[in-house]
């Protein structure tokens, strides 16, 4: 990379770092801290690796400009969310937003009863896979995890519910219940590890950390930054581990440790394959001269995927297939991937990048302000804490349709369902 390009990168990165530090010191999970960190890692991930493909200076400059537009309009979207912030004044009317204690347990019990057919169908495929050995990579196990899903993700719903009940037990100071929930949560994390389901394991852990941050122990910026660094190393560790998961969890653990001892450098964040293909994919689009813009069809797909099962049978556009049809797969190493900046470009070109990131900044800002202005309501904390991992990771590295599905149908479905049950089930079944 030429010195001039490095200067252009720094012109963008220095203000971003200042923005992150300013907001991170106030709140490490502030939308102007956590999302820019993630976006930066994915943006520079396709450039600063030693084996990154080389492109012309013109393509690199386009890529830098695209990143600058993305950061600017994400911040503008967040700032624009301020007039839409709501402070709930009628606390009696909205007391349902503070589910806790016996009411929460009874509502959670009804939720588990309702989803039990879906959960049992998913477990029908997962349980045999847990005891299977001698197969190839983690693809077999990940397919088993997904194969039994009819709608949403029942096992993830259970993990989220257990975290909510765990923190409520801490609040109510019911130690026996907290111990039981802790062991169940640990069991679920081990199941995710055995199946190689890295994404959901990390999302549940981040959700729990956000809950701790806002209700029990405020995490400082420095500790949060160190946590991000450790988390990146752990993500790379599990990525290696999944290659041996077919031989069992214990074998995968020891085999990965052996690799780590021989070459610790491979586990450092700047070598993480996760960040590489998405940035390269955007450069491939620029390099190919592609201009067949989809004009918002991926946004329609994101709306179609919200109603249960509809998105499975009605596909307006397949963003991933479109990306793979354009990029050089060898350059992208892993076959490429969607990218929050790339999807904006695919829809409306340069204007699309601005609109797409503005939308993310606005939505994340609205959810954050809704909780910050109403900290007494537990349900609003759950909604924001669940949104953090999905926005900062899934939102950056996948298509808008996938992001919408994971956010609404898998993660926010739990607090939404609990509110629905409490509101519409006869009150003699859910006593206050």
The first and second tokens of residue 53, run together, are: 């493909």
pLDDT reported for residue 412? 94
Alpha carbon of residue 192 to chain centroid: 16
Number of C-beta neighbours around residue 350 at 10 A:
12
Integer Cα distance of 366 and 360 in angstroms: 10
Widest CA span in the chain: 71
Alpha carbon of residue 411 to chain centroid: 10
Integer Cα distance of 185 and 110 in angstroms: 20
359 within 8 A of 340, measured Cβ to Cβ:
no
The first and second tokens of residue 229, run together, are: 């660094």
Using 50 as the pLDDT threshold, list the residues of the chain that sit under it: 330-336, 429-432
116 within 8 A of 400, measured Cβ to Cβ:
no
pLDDT reported for residue 343? 87
Q: Which of 108, 131, 112 is nearest to 120 (CA)?
A: 112
Phi, psi (rounded to 5 degrees) for 268: -75, 155
Integer Cα distance of 149 and 239 in angstroms: 23
Integer Cα distance of 17 and 198 in angstroms: 28
Phi-psi bin for 327: left (phi > 0), alpha (psi -120 to 50), beta? beta
pLDDT reported for residue 283? 83
Residues in CB range of 286: below 8 A, 6 or more apart: 55, 59, 62, 63
pLDDT reported for residue 91? 58
Please state the pTM of the whole predicted model: 0.88
pLDDT reported for residue 333? 44
Integer Cα distance of 70 and 78 in angstroms: 12
134 within 8 A of 246, measured Cβ to Cβ:
yes
Number of C-beta neighbours around residue 293 at 10 A:
14
**Torsion 200-204-209-210 (CA) sign:** positive
pLDDT reported for residue 156? 93
Number of C-beta neighbours around residue 261 at 10 A:
8
346 within 8 A of 298, measured Cβ to Cβ:
yes
Q: Which of 363, 362, 415 is nearest to 385 (CA)?
A: 415
Q: Per residue in 342-356, pLDDT tens? A: 888 888 889 999 999
């Amino acid at each position: 990379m030429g010195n001039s390009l490095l200067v252009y990168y720094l012109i963008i990165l220095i203000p971003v770092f200042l923005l992150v530090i300013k907001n991170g010191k106030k709140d490490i999970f502030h939308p102007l801290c956590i999302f820019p960190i993630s976006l930066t890692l994915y943006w520079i991930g396709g450039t600063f690796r030693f084996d990154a493909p080389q492109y012309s200076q013109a393509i690199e400059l386009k890529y830098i400009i695209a990143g600058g537009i993305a950061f600017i309009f994400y911040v503008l979207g967040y700032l624009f969310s301020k007039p839409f912030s709501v402070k709930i004044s009628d606390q009696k009317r909205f007391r349902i937003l503070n589910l806790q204690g016996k009411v929460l347990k009874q509502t959670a019990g009804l939720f588990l009863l309702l989803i039990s057919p879906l959960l049992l169908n998913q477990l029908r495929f997962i349980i045999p896979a847990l005891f299977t050995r001698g197969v190839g990579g983690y693809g077999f196990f990940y397919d088993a995890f997904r194969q039994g899903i009819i709608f949403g993700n029942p096992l993830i719903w259970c993990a989220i519910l257990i975290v909510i009940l765990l923190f409520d037990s801490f609040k109510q100071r019911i130690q026996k219940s907290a111990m039981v929930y802790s062991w169940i949560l640990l069991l679920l994390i081990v199941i995710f590890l055995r199946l190689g389901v890295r994404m959901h394991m990390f999302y549940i852990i981040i959700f729990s950390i956000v809950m701790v941050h806002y209700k029990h122990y405020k995490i400082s910026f420095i500790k949060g930054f160190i946590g991000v660094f450790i988390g990146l190393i752990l993500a790379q560790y599990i990525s290696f581990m999944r290659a041996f998961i077919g031989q069992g969890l214990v074998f995968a653990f020891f085999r990965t440790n052996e690799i780590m001892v021989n070459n610790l450098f491979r586990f450092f964040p700047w070598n993480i394959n996760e960040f590489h293909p998405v940035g390269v994919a955007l450069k491939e689009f620029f390099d190919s001269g592609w201009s067949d813009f989809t004009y918002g069809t991926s946004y329609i797909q994101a709306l179609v995927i919200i109603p249960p099962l509809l998105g499975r049978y009605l596909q307006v556009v397949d963003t991933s297939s479109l990306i793979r049809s354009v990029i050089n797969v060898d350059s992208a190493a892993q076959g490429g991937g969607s990218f929050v900046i790339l999807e904006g470009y695919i829809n409306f070109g340069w204007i699309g990048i601005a609109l797409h990131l503005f939308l993310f900044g606005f939505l994340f800002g609205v959810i954050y302000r809704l909780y910050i202005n109403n900290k007494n309501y537990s349900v609003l904390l759950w909604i924001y804490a669940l949104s953090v991992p999905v926005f900062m990771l899934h939102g950056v590295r996948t298509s808008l349709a996938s992001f919408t599905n994971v956010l609404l149908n898998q993660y926010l479905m739990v607090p939404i369902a609990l509110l629905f049950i409490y509101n519409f089930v006869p009150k003699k079944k859910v006593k206050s």
